[in-house]
Structure 1
Amino acid sequence: MQYQDLINACHDDWQQYVDHDFVRQLAKGTLAHECFLHYLKQDFLFLKQYARAYALAIYKAKTLSDMRRALPSVHALLDSEIAHHVTYCENWGLTESDLENESEDFGTVAYTRYVLDAGMAGDLVDLYAALAPCSIGYAVIGKALLESNETKIEGNSYRSWIEMYGGEEFQTGVATGAEFFDQQLAEIDIHSERGQNLVHIFKTATRMEIAFWQQGLNASNSQ
Protein backbone atom coordinates (compact mmCIF):
# COMPACT_ATOMS: atom_id res chain seq x y z
CA MET A 1 0.00 0.00 0.00
CA GLN A 2 0.89 3.69 -0.09
CA TYR A 3 0.22 6.60 2.25
CA GLN A 4 -2.66 7.68 -0.01
CA ASP A 5 -4.39 4.41 0.90
CA LEU A 6 -4.22 5.45 4.55
CA ILE A 7 -5.79 8.80 3.68
CA ASN A 8 -8.52 7.08 1.68
CA ALA A 9 -9.21 4.73 4.60
CA CYS A 10 -10.08 7.65 6.87
CA HIS A 11 -11.49 9.97 4.20
CA ASP A 12 -14.08 11.74 6.35
CA ASP A 13 -11.65 12.48 9.18
CA TRP A 14 -9.03 13.61 6.68
CA GLN A 15 -11.44 16.06 5.06
CA GLN A 16 -12.40 17.46 8.46
CA TYR A 17 -8.70 17.99 9.11
CA VAL A 18 -7.57 19.63 5.86
CA ASP A 19 -10.80 21.64 5.46
CA HIS A 20 -11.29 22.59 9.10
CA ASP A 21 -12.92 25.92 9.91
CA PHE A 22 -9.61 27.07 11.41
CA VAL A 23 -8.00 26.55 7.99
CA ARG A 24 -10.85 28.24 6.12
CA GLN A 25 -10.64 31.26 8.39
CA LEU A 26 -6.87 31.42 7.85
CA ALA A 27 -7.48 31.47 4.10
CA LYS A 28 -10.00 34.30 4.38
CA GLY A 29 -7.93 36.22 6.92
CA THR A 30 -10.87 36.24 9.32
CA LEU A 31 -9.36 34.06 12.04
CA ALA A 32 -9.35 35.87 15.39
CA HIS A 33 -5.81 36.85 16.37
CA GLU A 34 -6.14 35.34 19.84
CA CYS A 35 -6.91 32.00 18.18
CA PHE A 36 -3.83 32.21 16.01
CA LEU A 37 -1.62 33.27 18.92
CA HIS A 38 -2.84 30.31 20.96
CA TYR A 39 -2.15 28.04 18.00
CA LEU A 40 1.38 29.46 17.58
CA LYS A 41 2.25 28.87 21.22
CA GLN A 42 0.88 25.35 21.21
CA ASP A 43 2.56 24.58 17.89
CA PHE A 44 5.92 25.53 19.42
CA LEU A 45 5.31 23.01 22.21
CA PHE A 46 4.15 20.48 19.62
CA LEU A 47 7.32 20.91 17.55
CA LYS A 48 9.51 20.17 20.56
CA GLN A 49 7.73 16.84 21.04
CA TYR A 50 7.81 16.25 17.28
CA ALA A 51 11.61 16.52 17.41
CA ARG A 52 11.65 13.93 20.20
CA ALA A 53 9.55 11.64 18.01
CA TYR A 54 12.03 11.87 15.13
CA ALA A 55 14.85 11.21 17.58
CA LEU A 56 12.89 8.10 18.57
CA ALA A 57 12.92 7.11 14.89
CA ILE A 58 16.71 6.86 15.08
CA TYR A 59 16.38 4.60 18.13
CA LYS A 60 13.73 2.46 16.45
CA ALA A 61 15.59 2.12 13.14
CA LYS A 62 17.11 -1.30 12.52
CA THR A 63 19.54 -0.29 9.77
CA LEU A 64 22.13 2.44 9.53
CA SER A 65 20.38 3.66 6.39
CA ASP A 66 17.10 4.18 8.26
CA MET A 67 18.95 5.89 11.11
CA ARG A 68 20.49 8.30 8.63
CA ARG A 69 17.07 8.91 7.07
CA ALA A 70 15.70 10.22 10.37
CA LEU A 71 18.68 12.40 11.28
CA PRO A 72 18.00 15.27 8.81
CA SER A 73 14.49 15.64 10.23
CA VAL A 74 15.86 15.98 13.76
CA HIS A 75 18.42 18.53 12.58
CA ALA A 76 15.84 20.42 10.54
CA LEU A 77 13.44 20.64 13.46
CA LEU A 78 16.03 21.71 16.04
CA ASP A 79 18.25 23.89 13.86
CA SER A 80 15.81 25.58 11.50
CA GLU A 81 12.09 24.81 11.79
CA ILE A 82 11.75 25.59 15.50
CA ALA A 83 14.07 28.59 15.11
CA HIS A 84 11.96 29.80 12.19
CA HIS A 85 8.85 29.32 14.29
CA VAL A 86 10.36 31.39 17.13
CA THR A 87 11.28 34.16 14.68
CA TYR A 88 7.81 34.05 13.16
CA CYS A 89 6.25 34.28 16.62
CA GLU A 90 8.35 37.34 17.39
CA ASN A 91 6.51 39.10 14.56
CA TRP A 92 3.35 38.42 16.56
CA GLY A 93 4.83 39.80 19.77
CA LEU A 94 5.71 36.43 21.32
CA THR A 95 9.21 35.87 22.70
CA GLU A 96 10.92 32.48 23.01
CA SER A 97 10.49 32.84 26.77
CA ASP A 98 6.74 33.32 26.26
CA LEU A 99 6.63 30.12 24.21
CA GLU A 100 8.70 28.08 26.67
CA ASN A 101 6.59 29.22 29.62
CA GLU A 102 3.28 28.38 27.94
CA SER A 103 1.40 25.42 29.42
CA GLU A 104 0.54 22.57 27.09
CA ASP A 105 -3.15 22.47 26.25
CA PHE A 106 -4.97 19.17 26.60
CA GLY A 107 -5.06 18.62 22.84
CA THR A 108 -1.32 19.18 22.56
CA VAL A 109 -0.57 16.70 25.33
CA ALA A 110 -2.93 14.09 23.89
CA TYR A 111 -1.57 14.38 20.35
CA THR A 112 2.15 14.46 21.04
CA ARG A 113 2.09 11.71 23.65
CA TYR A 114 0.00 9.54 21.35
CA VAL A 115 2.64 9.85 18.62
CA LEU A 116 5.43 8.99 21.05
CA ASP A 117 3.45 6.08 22.51
CA ALA A 118 2.67 4.70 19.05
CA GLY A 119 6.38 4.76 18.29
CA MET A 120 7.45 3.26 21.60
CA ALA A 121 4.86 0.47 21.48
CA GLY A 122 5.35 -0.30 17.79
CA ASP A 123 8.12 -0.20 15.21
CA LEU A 124 9.48 2.44 12.87
CA VAL A 125 6.54 2.16 10.45
CA ASP A 126 4.06 2.62 13.29
CA LEU A 127 5.90 5.75 14.36
CA TYR A 128 5.92 7.20 10.84
CA ALA A 129 2.20 6.39 10.48
CA ALA A 130 1.58 8.55 13.56
CA LEU A 131 3.86 11.34 12.30
CA ALA A 132 2.63 11.40 8.71
CA PRO A 133 -0.73 13.22 9.08
CA CYS A 134 1.04 16.33 10.36
CA SER A 135 3.61 16.82 7.60
CA ILE A 136 1.53 15.45 4.72
CA GLY A 137 -1.59 17.27 5.90
CA TYR A 138 0.15 20.64 6.19
CA ALA A 139 1.56 20.17 2.69
CA VAL A 140 -1.91 19.38 1.33
CA ILE A 141 -3.39 22.38 3.14
CA GLY A 142 -0.63 24.78 2.12
CA LYS A 143 -0.79 23.78 -1.55
CA ALA A 144 -4.60 23.95 -1.64
CA LEU A 145 -4.74 27.38 -0.01
CA LEU A 146 -2.02 28.83 -2.20
CA GLU A 147 -3.71 27.58 -5.37
CA SER A 148 -7.31 28.44 -4.42
CA ASN A 149 -8.96 31.48 -5.94
CA GLU A 150 -10.95 31.81 -2.73
CA THR A 151 -7.84 32.39 -0.62
CA LYS A 152 -7.19 36.01 0.24
CA ILE A 153 -3.50 36.78 -0.16
CA GLU A 154 -3.23 40.56 -0.28
CA GLY A 155 -3.82 42.10 3.13
CA ASN A 156 -4.18 38.72 4.83
CA SER A 157 -2.46 38.66 8.23
CA TYR A 158 -1.77 34.97 7.69
CA ARG A 159 -0.27 35.30 4.23
CA SER A 160 3.23 34.27 5.32
CA TRP A 161 1.86 31.12 6.99
CA ILE A 162 0.04 30.14 3.80
CA GLU A 163 3.07 30.88 1.62
CA MET A 164 5.41 28.96 3.91
CA TYR A 165 3.42 25.72 3.88
CA GLY A 166 2.44 26.10 0.25
CA GLY A 167 5.99 27.01 -0.77
CA GLU A 168 8.44 24.87 -2.69
CA GLU A 169 10.84 24.23 0.20
CA PHE A 170 8.21 22.75 2.49
CA GLN A 171 6.45 20.90 -0.33
CA THR A 172 9.70 19.32 -1.52
CA GLY A 173 10.71 18.26 1.97
CA VAL A 174 7.38 16.59 2.64
CA ALA A 175 7.39 14.87 -0.74
CA THR A 176 10.78 13.33 0.05
CA GLY A 177 9.55 12.07 3.42
CA ALA A 178 6.32 10.75 1.90
CA GLU A 179 8.29 8.82 -0.72
CA PHE A 180 10.32 7.13 2.02
CA PHE A 181 7.12 6.32 3.93
CA ASP A 182 5.67 4.73 0.78
CA GLN A 183 8.77 2.54 0.51
CA GLN A 184 8.14 1.28 4.03
CA LEU A 185 4.48 0.60 3.27
CA ALA A 186 5.05 -1.09 -0.10
CA GLU A 187 5.05 -4.70 1.13
CA ILE A 188 2.13 -4.27 3.53
CA ASP A 189 -1.41 -5.30 2.58
CA ILE A 190 -3.85 -2.69 3.90
CA HIS A 191 -6.43 -5.43 4.52
CA SER A 192 -4.06 -7.44 6.71
CA GLU A 193 -4.00 -7.10 10.50
CA ARG A 194 -0.77 -5.14 10.15
CA GLY A 195 -2.29 -2.85 7.55
CA GLN A 196 -5.43 -2.22 9.60
CA ASN A 197 -3.33 -1.34 12.64
CA LEU A 198 -1.50 1.27 10.58
CA VAL A 199 -4.85 2.63 9.40
CA HIS A 200 -5.92 2.93 13.04
CA ILE A 201 -2.74 4.80 13.99
CA PHE A 202 -2.96 7.14 10.99
CA LYS A 203 -6.66 7.81 11.59
CA THR A 204 -6.14 8.50 15.29
CA ALA A 205 -3.34 10.98 14.55
CA THR A 206 -5.58 12.64 11.96
CA ARG A 207 -8.33 13.01 14.55
CA MET A 208 -5.74 14.55 16.87
CA GLU A 209 -4.99 17.12 14.16
CA ILE A 210 -8.67 18.03 14.02
CA ALA A 211 -8.65 18.52 17.79
CA PHE A 212 -5.49 20.64 17.52
CA TRP A 213 -7.21 23.04 15.10
CA GLN A 214 -10.32 23.07 17.27
CA GLN A 215 -8.47 24.00 20.43
CA GLY A 216 -7.12 27.00 18.54
CA LEU A 217 -10.63 28.08 17.61
CA ASN A 218 -11.84 27.48 21.15
CA ALA A 219 -9.25 29.96 22.45
CA SER A 220 -11.52 32.84 21.47
CA ASN A 221 -14.14 31.53 23.89
CA SER A 222 -11.71 31.33 26.80
CA GLN A 223 -10.39 34.89 26.68
Structure 2
Amino acid sequence: MAFSDRLLDAGEEVWAAQKDHPFVRELARGTLEEAAFEHWVRQDYRYLLDYARLFAIAGAKADDEATMTRLLGVAHRVLDEEMDLHRSFAADYGISAAELERTEKAPTCVAYTNYLLRTAYEGSIAEIAAALYPCVQGYLDVAEHMADLADDDHRYTPFIETYTGEEFREATAWCRSFVDRCGEASPGEHDAMEAAFLRSAKLEYRFWEMAYTLEGWGL
Protein backbone atom coordinates (compact mmCIF):
# COMPACT_ATOMS: atom_id res chain seq x y z
CA MET A 1 0.00 0.00 0.00
CA ALA A 2 1.30 3.46 -0.91
CA PHE A 3 1.98 5.55 2.17
CA SER A 4 -0.47 8.24 1.03
CA ASP A 5 -3.18 5.54 1.02
CA ARG A 6 -2.22 4.57 4.56
CA LEU A 7 -2.67 8.19 5.61
CA LEU A 8 -6.04 8.45 3.90
CA ASP A 9 -7.17 5.27 5.63
CA ALA A 10 -6.10 6.76 8.96
CA GLY A 11 -8.05 9.93 8.16
CA GLU A 12 -11.18 8.19 6.86
CA GLU A 13 -13.36 9.42 9.73
CA VAL A 14 -12.22 13.02 9.30
CA TRP A 15 -12.76 12.85 5.53
CA ALA A 16 -16.32 11.61 6.06
CA ALA A 17 -16.99 14.40 8.56
CA GLN A 18 -15.75 17.01 6.08
CA LYS A 19 -18.00 15.74 3.31
CA ASP A 20 -20.99 15.73 5.64
CA HIS A 21 -20.37 19.23 6.99
CA PRO A 22 -23.26 21.64 6.29
CA PHE A 23 -20.88 24.18 4.71
CA VAL A 24 -19.90 21.56 2.14
CA ARG A 25 -23.41 20.23 1.53
CA GLU A 26 -24.99 23.66 1.26
CA LEU A 27 -22.26 25.06 -0.98
CA ALA A 28 -22.73 22.07 -3.28
CA ARG A 29 -26.44 22.86 -3.64
CA GLY A 30 -25.96 26.62 -3.90
CA THR A 31 -27.86 27.34 -0.68
CA LEU A 32 -24.93 28.34 1.52
CA GLU A 33 -25.40 31.75 3.13
CA GLU A 34 -23.28 34.41 1.44
CA ALA A 35 -21.89 35.50 4.81
CA ALA A 36 -20.41 32.04 5.39
CA PHE A 37 -18.74 31.94 1.98
CA GLU A 38 -17.46 35.49 2.43
CA HIS A 39 -15.97 34.48 5.78
CA TRP A 40 -14.30 31.49 4.11
CA VAL A 41 -12.86 33.72 1.35
CA ARG A 42 -11.41 36.17 3.86
CA GLN A 43 -9.94 33.51 6.11
CA ASP A 44 -8.65 31.28 3.32
CA TYR A 45 -6.91 34.27 1.77
CA ARG A 46 -4.99 34.77 5.01
CA TYR A 47 -4.39 31.02 5.28
CA LEU A 48 -2.92 30.85 1.78
CA LEU A 49 -0.21 33.37 2.59
CA ASP A 50 1.16 30.98 5.20
CA TYR A 51 0.47 27.92 3.03
CA ALA A 52 2.74 29.47 0.41
CA ARG A 53 5.37 29.97 3.11
CA LEU A 54 5.05 26.29 4.02
CA PHE A 55 5.90 25.25 0.46
CA ALA A 56 8.72 27.76 0.25
CA ILE A 57 10.32 26.46 3.44
CA ALA A 58 9.82 22.88 2.26
CA GLY A 59 11.58 23.83 -0.99
CA ALA A 60 14.51 25.19 0.97
CA LYS A 61 14.76 21.91 2.90
CA ALA A 62 14.48 19.66 -0.16
CA ASP A 63 17.70 17.85 -1.04
CA ASP A 64 17.17 17.40 -4.77
CA GLU A 65 16.74 19.98 -7.47
CA ALA A 66 13.51 18.64 -8.98
CA THR A 67 11.66 18.61 -5.66
CA MET A 68 13.02 22.02 -4.71
CA THR A 69 11.89 23.45 -8.04
CA ARG A 70 8.43 21.98 -7.75
CA LEU A 71 7.84 23.07 -4.14
CA LEU A 72 9.00 26.62 -4.78
CA GLY A 73 6.87 26.63 -7.93
CA VAL A 74 3.80 25.71 -5.90
CA ALA A 75 4.53 28.55 -3.47
CA HIS A 76 4.69 30.96 -6.40
CA ARG A 77 1.50 29.57 -7.95
CA VAL A 78 -0.42 29.94 -4.68
CA LEU A 79 0.62 33.58 -4.44
CA ASP A 80 0.20 34.36 -8.13
CA GLU A 81 -2.90 32.35 -9.08
CA GLU A 82 -4.88 30.91 -6.20
CA MET A 83 -4.85 34.13 -4.20
CA ASP A 84 -5.91 36.00 -7.33
CA LEU A 85 -8.89 33.65 -7.53
CA HIS A 86 -9.78 34.58 -3.95
CA ARG A 87 -9.51 38.26 -4.84
CA SER A 88 -11.96 37.57 -7.67
CA PHE A 89 -14.35 35.80 -5.30
CA ALA A 90 -14.03 38.69 -2.85
CA ALA A 91 -14.73 41.30 -5.54
CA ASP A 92 -18.09 39.62 -6.14
CA TYR A 93 -18.95 40.56 -2.56
CA GLY A 94 -17.58 44.08 -2.80
CA ILE A 95 -14.45 43.21 -0.80
CA SER A 96 -11.27 44.91 -1.98
CA ALA A 97 -7.81 43.37 -1.97
CA ALA A 98 -6.84 45.83 0.75
CA GLU A 99 -9.71 44.62 2.92
CA LEU A 100 -8.61 41.02 2.42
CA GLU A 101 -5.11 41.89 3.56
CA ARG A 102 -6.50 43.63 6.67
CA THR A 103 -8.67 40.67 7.67
CA GLU A 104 -7.89 39.38 11.14
CA LYS A 105 -7.40 35.64 11.31
CA ALA A 106 -10.09 33.76 13.22
CA PRO A 107 -8.92 31.46 16.04
CA THR A 108 -9.07 28.33 13.88
CA CYS A 109 -7.10 30.00 11.09
CA VAL A 110 -4.48 31.06 13.62
CA ALA A 111 -4.27 27.52 15.01
CA TYR A 112 -3.95 25.94 11.57
CA THR A 113 -1.39 28.32 10.10
CA ASN A 114 0.68 28.35 13.29
CA TYR A 115 0.74 24.56 13.24
CA LEU A 116 1.83 24.44 9.60
CA LEU A 117 4.57 27.01 10.05
CA ARG A 118 5.87 25.34 13.20
CA THR A 119 6.04 22.06 11.29
CA ALA A 120 7.79 23.83 8.42
CA TYR A 121 10.47 25.34 10.63
CA GLU A 122 10.93 22.50 13.11
CA GLY A 123 9.90 19.36 11.22
CA SER A 124 11.59 17.21 8.62
CA ILE A 125 10.71 17.31 4.94
CA ALA A 126 8.69 14.12 5.50
CA GLU A 127 6.60 15.72 8.25
CA ILE A 128 6.03 18.79 6.09
CA ALA A 129 4.82 16.61 3.22
CA ALA A 130 2.33 14.89 5.50
CA ALA A 131 1.14 18.17 7.04
CA LEU A 132 0.46 19.85 3.69
CA TYR A 133 -1.23 16.84 2.12
CA PRO A 134 -4.71 17.09 3.75
CA CYS A 135 -5.35 20.52 2.26
CA VAL A 136 -4.58 19.43 -1.29
CA GLN A 137 -6.13 15.96 -1.33
CA GLY A 138 -8.95 17.09 0.93
CA TYR A 139 -10.06 19.92 -1.34
CA LEU A 140 -10.08 17.64 -4.37
CA ASP A 141 -12.07 14.94 -2.59
CA VAL A 142 -14.51 17.38 -1.01
CA ALA A 143 -14.98 19.28 -4.28
CA GLU A 144 -15.66 16.00 -6.14
CA HIS A 145 -18.26 15.22 -3.48
CA MET A 146 -19.77 18.69 -4.00
CA ALA A 147 -19.92 18.07 -7.75
CA ASP A 148 -21.83 14.83 -7.11
CA LEU A 149 -24.29 16.66 -4.86
CA ALA A 150 -24.81 19.67 -7.14
CA ASP A 151 -27.93 19.60 -9.31
CA ASP A 152 -27.40 22.70 -11.43
CA ASP A 153 -24.96 25.56 -11.89
CA HIS A 154 -25.18 28.25 -9.24
CA ARG A 155 -23.11 31.08 -7.72
CA TYR A 156 -20.67 28.63 -6.11
CA THR A 157 -20.07 26.54 -9.22
CA PRO A 158 -16.72 28.30 -9.95
CA PHE A 159 -15.44 27.10 -6.55
CA ILE A 160 -16.33 23.49 -7.39
CA GLU A 161 -14.88 23.75 -10.88
CA THR A 162 -11.61 25.22 -9.60
CA TYR A 163 -10.94 22.38 -7.16
CA THR A 164 -12.02 19.62 -9.55
CA GLY A 165 -10.15 21.07 -12.54
CA GLU A 166 -7.25 19.39 -14.29
CA GLU A 167 -4.64 21.79 -12.93
CA PHE A 168 -5.65 21.11 -9.35
CA ARG A 169 -5.85 17.36 -10.00
CA GLU A 170 -2.30 17.40 -11.37
CA ALA A 171 -1.07 19.35 -8.34
CA THR A 172 -2.77 16.86 -6.02
CA ALA A 173 -1.23 13.91 -7.85
CA TRP A 174 2.23 15.43 -7.46
CA CYS A 175 1.71 16.06 -3.73
CA ARG A 176 0.52 12.48 -3.34
CA SER A 177 3.68 11.17 -5.02
CA PHE A 178 5.75 13.52 -2.85
CA VAL A 179 4.20 12.01 0.29
CA ASP A 180 4.83 8.50 -1.04
CA ARG A 181 8.49 9.28 -1.78
CA CYS A 182 8.97 10.74 1.68
CA GLY A 183 7.30 7.73 3.27
CA GLU A 184 9.52 5.36 1.34
CA ALA A 185 12.69 7.32 2.10
CA SER A 186 11.93 7.82 5.81
CA PRO A 187 10.37 4.64 7.25
CA GLY A 188 11.40 5.69 10.74
CA GLU A 189 9.19 8.78 10.45
CA HIS A 190 5.92 7.06 9.57
CA ASP A 191 4.33 7.67 12.97
CA ALA A 192 5.35 11.33 12.95
CA MET A 193 4.02 11.72 9.40
CA GLU A 194 0.70 10.16 10.34
CA ALA A 195 0.40 12.42 13.39
CA ALA A 196 1.11 15.50 11.23
CA PHE A 197 -1.38 14.38 8.61
CA LEU A 198 -4.16 13.79 11.12
CA ARG A 199 -3.60 17.12 12.87
CA SER A 200 -3.88 18.98 9.57
CA ALA A 201 -6.90 16.91 8.53
CA LYS A 202 -8.73 17.77 11.76
CA LEU A 203 -7.90 21.43 11.29
CA GLU A 204 -9.28 21.23 7.74
CA TYR A 205 -12.57 20.06 9.23
CA ARG A 206 -12.47 22.88 11.78
CA PHE A 207 -11.87 25.37 8.95
CA TRP A 208 -15.24 24.49 7.39
CA GLU A 209 -16.83 24.88 10.82
CA MET A 210 -15.08 28.22 11.33
CA ALA A 211 -16.49 29.57 8.07
CA TYR A 212 -20.00 28.20 8.67
CA THR A 213 -20.31 29.64 12.17
CA LEU A 214 -18.62 32.94 11.26
CA GLU A 215 -16.09 32.26 13.99
CA GLY A 216 -14.38 35.30 15.45
CA TRP A 217 -12.75 36.41 18.65
CA GLY A 218 -15.89 37.85 20.23
CA LEU A 219 -14.05 41.00 21.24
SS of the equivalent of 1:30 reads coil
Residue equivalent to 1:166: 164
Residue equivalent to 1:114: 115
CA–CA distance in 2 between the matches of 1:114 and 1:220? Answer: 19
CA–CA distance in 1 between the matches of 2:27 and 2:215? Answer: 14
SS of the equivalent of 1:31 reads coil
- Root mean square deviation, CA, Å: 1.9
TM-score by length of 2: 0.91
Q: Which runs of 5+ in 1 are unaligned?
A: none
Q: Which runs of 5+ in 2 are unaligned?
A: none
Q: Which amino acid aligns with 1:42?
A: Q
* Among 197, 201, 210, the residue aligned to 2:205: 210
CA–CA distance in 2 between the matches of 1:91 and 1:118? Answer: 35
The 5-angstrom pairing of residues 58-207 of structure 1 reads: 58-146=59-147, 148=148, 150-154=149-153, 156-189=154-187, 194-207=189-202
Tell me if the contact between 1:22 and 1:31 (Cα under 8 Å) persists in the aligned partners. yes
Q: Which amino acid aligns with 1:151?
A: A
CA–CA distance in 1 between the matches of 2:40 and 2:125? Answer: 29
Tell me if the contact between 1:32 and 1:220 (Cα under 8 Å) persists in the aligned partners. no
CA–CA distance in 2 between the matches of 1:91 and 1:165? Answer: 19
CA–CA distance in 2 between the matches of 1:42 and 1:220? Answer: 10
Tell me if the contact between 1:57 and 1:127 (Cα under 8 Å) persists in the aligned partners. yes
Aligned residues: 216
| CA-CA distance at 1:220 after TM superposition | 8.3
| CA-CA distance at 1:84 after TM superposition | 2.0
| CA-CA distance at 1:92 after TM superposition | 2.3
| CA-CA distance at 1:62 after TM superposition | 2.4
Bigger drift between 83-92 and 126-135 goes to: 83-92
SS of the equivalent of 1:186 reads helix
Tell me if the contact between 2:140 and 2:163 (Cα under 8 Å) persists in the aligned partners. yes
CA–CA distance in 1 between the matches of 2:66 and 2:196? Answer: 24
Tell me if the contact between 1:22 and 1:214 (Cα under 8 Å) persists in the aligned partners. yes
SS of the equivalent of 1:45 reads helix
| CA-CA distance at 1:122 after TM superposition | 1.3
The 5-angstrom pairing of residues 6-85 of structure 1 reads: 6-85=7-86
